[in-house]
Amino acid sequence: MPCLLTGGLAVVQCRHAFEMEGGIVPKTDEQAPAELLFEIKDAATGQLWGTVRLKTKEFATGSRGFFASAKVANPQNTDARYQCNFQMILVGSKTEA
C-alpha cells in the first residue's frame, strides 16, 4: 500500500541569504509556527495511518527546521508498526561552521 504525506506545510517566506564581508547570513523564517502536523494516509483509500507532530529544531549541522520521530501502525494490521523520522529543513538556514 503506498502512503502519502499531507499536512501543514509551512509557507516559507524568508529573506534571501546574502553575502556580507565574505560570509553568508543564514536564512530565517519568522513566520513559521513552532509546530506542524503531518498526516500519513493511504494514497489509494485516504485512510489515516497516523498524525505526527513536528517541532522546531536546530540540527547539529547548524541548519534550522522541523523534526519528529514516531511510530504508526497499519490500521488494517495493528501488529505492523512502522518507525517514522521526518525532517523539514529551511534551505539556506545553516550557520557558518
Over residues 29-55, the pLDDT tens digits come to: 888 999 999 999 999 999 999 999 999
The residue segments making up the domain with residue 39 are 1-11+34-97
Tell how strand 77-89 and strand 48-58 pair up. unpaired
Number of domains composing the chain: 1
- 92 domain residue, yes or no: yes
Q: Which residues of 28-49 are buried (b: 16+ CB within 10 A; e: fewer)?
A: ebeebeeebebebbbeeeeeeb
- 28 domain residue, yes or no: no
* Percentage of the chain modeled with pLDDT above 70: 73
- 54 domain residue, yes or no: yes
Residue-averaged pLDDT of the chain: 79
- 25 domain residue, yes or no: no
